[in-house]
């Protein structure tokens, strides 16, 4: 496996981990809408916390510092999409805080707050998936064409220092515990918690 393909596999693995959490959030909202199932705030907060500590604090900064920086140096064609993705990275933490506030309103206000909560979650998830699609469908092909083997080696070395724990790579125990906690407390089919 080449350095480039190892890096791309790592990126896609991390995106799949993020997508799994997003699917879990979407499932909880759908269950409340269609079946009246109450959303357990501790499950939803654990999911938001994962999105905050892993993608926001590790994944996105690595993309910006290593992949995006190198790609900017090699391809003027990438500037617009990288600028937009950078703005989305900057807004990511606030987007999570906004969903957390909608969750607080749902907890305090009950069912009357659900439509606003559901709309906020769906908007957040749609934006997140669009962001990952742009990275995979626009940025990665540009990177594959523009970056040198030396660029890929530097990017892979930086990326390897902070792997996503969901896929069994080396990572801090706190992240493994967090994902395990989500699986333990989330109801099936998201996790193994109470159904």
Domain ranges of the chain: 3-185
Q: Are residues 71 and 139 in contact, defined by beta-carbon separation less than 8 angstroms?
A: yes
| CA angle, 47 then 49 then 52, to 5° | 115
Give me the pLDDT at residue 169, please.
46
Q: Is the pLDDT of residue 164 over 50?
A: no
Mean pLDDT over residues 36-42, rounded? 90
Give the mean model confidence (pLDDT) for residues 105-130: 96
Q: What percent of the chain has pLDDT over 70?
A: 82
* pLDDT tier at 159, thresholds 50, 70, 90: confident
For 51-77, give the DSSP string. Answer: HIIIIIIIIHHHIIIIIIHHHHHH-GG
Place of tokens 């999409």: 81
Question: Are 62 and 162 in contact, with CB atoms under 8 Å apart?
Answer: yes
Query: Of the candidates 60, 59, 83, which has an alpha carbon nearest to the alpha carbon of residue 71?
Result: 83
pLDDT greater than 60 at residue 170: no
The 10s digit of each residue's pLDDT in 56-115 is 888 898 889 999 999 999 999 999 999 999 999 999 999 999 999 999 999 999 999 999
- The answer to whether residues 147 and 70 touch, using CB atoms and an 8 Å cutoff, is yes
pLDDT of amino acid 88: 96
- More reliable by pLDDT, 16 or 102: 102
Superfamily (CATH) of domain 3-185: nmb1532 protein domain like (1.20.120.520)
Q: Which two tokens stand for residue 5?
A: 């393909």
Lookup: tokens for 66: 């290593």
Which residue do the tokens 């080449």 mark? 2
């Amino acid at each position: 496996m080449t350095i480039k393909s190892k890096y791309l596999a790592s990126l896609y693995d991390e995106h799949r981990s993020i997508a799994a959490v997003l699917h879990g959030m979407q499932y909880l909202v759908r269950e409340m809408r269609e079946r009246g199932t109450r959303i357990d705030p501790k499950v939803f907060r654990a999911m938001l916390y994962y999105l905050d500590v892993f993608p926001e604090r590790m994944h996105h900064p690595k993309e910006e510092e290593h992949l995006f920086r190198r790609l900017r140096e090699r391809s003027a064609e990438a500037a617009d999409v990288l600028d937009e993705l950078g703005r989305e990275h900057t807004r990511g933490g606030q987007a999570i805080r906004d969903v957390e506030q909608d969750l607080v309103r749902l907890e305090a206000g009950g069912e009357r707050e659900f439509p606003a909560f559901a709309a906020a979650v769906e908007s957040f998830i749609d934006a997140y998936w669009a962001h990952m699609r742009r990275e995979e469908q626009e940025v990665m092909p540009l990177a594959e064409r523009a970056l040198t083997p030396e660029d890929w080696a530097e990017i892979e070395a930086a990326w390897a220092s902070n792997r996503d724990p969901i896929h069994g790579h080396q990572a801090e125990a706190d992240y493994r515990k967090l994902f395990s906690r989500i699986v333990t407390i989330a109801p099936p089919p998201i996790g193994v918690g109470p159904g």
